[in-house]
Amino acid sequence: MKKCFKIQDKLKRPLLICLAAILVLAGIAGARYVLTWDSGSQLAGAADFYFTSDLLEEVKTGEKAPIRYIDPQTGSFTIELHNFADSKRITEKDITYEVTVTGGTVNDPQTGKLIGSQKTTNFITITPASGKDQVEVTATSTAPYKKELKASFQLTGGNQYQVDDTAGSTAAVLTMTCTKEGTQAITLKLPENVVPDATDSRVTKPGDSYQFTVTEKGVFSLVLLKKETKQNLKKELVPFENEIDMTAKAT
C-alpha cells in the first residue's frame, strides 16, 4: 500500500506542474487581451475626436496655414469652433481649447469649452490690430486630445473667394469674403457632380444655379460635396461681384 501512495504522489506532481503552467499561460493570454482591448479603446477614442472650424484648418508639418481674405474696413470678424464633423460624427467628451492671435486680439475669452455628446459651436471674435494687414489665428484643443487649427487672415478690399480642395477628397470648402453692407444674394455656378451641403440653410436653388445669401459683410464658408473625387476644385483667390462661376476651369 505504501508503494501505491508513492506512485500516486509521483503522478500528482507532474499533473500539478502542468496545471500551473496552463494557468500561467491563460493569465498571459488574458493580460494580452486586456492590453489589446485598452489600446483599441484609446485608438477608437482618438478616431472619434472632432475639433473643427469654419475658417481654421489643421496644418500638416511643413505646410503653411491657409490664407483667408477679409475686408480691411471691417472692425472684427467671427470664427466658429465645432466639436463635430457632421450631424452623425460628434465628439462624446467635452473639448477644452485655447486661442492665440498674432496681429490682433481675441474679444472673447481666450479659453473655452465645447460641450460633448451634442453638436456644439462656439464663436470667437477677432479684432485686427491698428496698422496691421495680416492676422494669424491658432485654436488649440487641450483635452481630451491636442489638435491645432490655424489660418492667416489678410486684409484686402472687394468681394473675393477661394476654394480649398485636393484630388481624392469627397468635399471641398468654398470661402467667400463679402465686403458689401446689407443682404447679398450670390449666384453659385458649380461644376457637374458638385453640390452644396444640403443642410446649409443659406443655400437655395431658385433656378438652374444655386444661390448663397448673406445678410452682412464678413467671411463665410460653404462645404461642396463631390460625386467625382478625382476632381480638384482648388482656387487661390478670385474676385467676384454677385456671381461665383466655378464651371470654367474645373479639373
Domains, the chain, with CATH or none:
46-157 (2.60.40.10), 159-251 (2.60.40)
pLDDT in tens, 38-82: 344 444 457 789 999 999 999 988 888 988 888 777 789 999 999
% helix, strand, coil for the chain, step of 5: 20, 40, 40
Share of the chain above pLDDT 90, in %: 55
Whole-model pTM: value is 0.57
- The yes-or-no verdict on residue 118 having pLDDT over 60 is yes
For the ranges 63-67, 137-141, 146-150, the lowest mean pLDDT is seen at 63-67
What the block records as the C-alpha cell of 238 is: 478670385
Contacts of 83 (CB under 8 A, 6+ apart): 50, 51, 52, 90, 91, 95, 114, 115, 116, 119, 120
Please report the pLDDT score of residue 149 as a whole number.
98
Alpha carbons 149 and 81: distance in angstroms, whole number: 9
pLDDT in tens, 160-204: 899 999 999 999 999 998 887 789 999 999 999 999 999 999 999
Mean pLDDT of 14-41: 44
Please report the pLDDT score of residue 116 as a whole number.
96
Please report the pLDDT score of residue 21 as a whole number.
54
Please report the pLDDT score of residue 92 as a whole number.
95
Alpha carbons 197 and 193: distance in angstroms, whole number: 13
Please report the pLDDT score of residue 39 as a whole number.
40
Mean pLDDT of 16-26: 52
Please report the pLDDT score of residue 79 as a whole number.
95
- The yes-or-no verdict on residue 102 having pLDDT over 50 is yes
Please report the pLDDT score of residue 42 as a whole number.
45
Please report the pLDDT score of residue 7 as a whole number.
45
Please report the pLDDT score of residue 5 as a whole number.
46
pLDDT band of 207, cuts 50, 70, 90: confident
Helix (H/G/I), strand (E/B), else coil: 74: coil
- The yes-or-no verdict on residue 239 having pLDDT over 90 is no
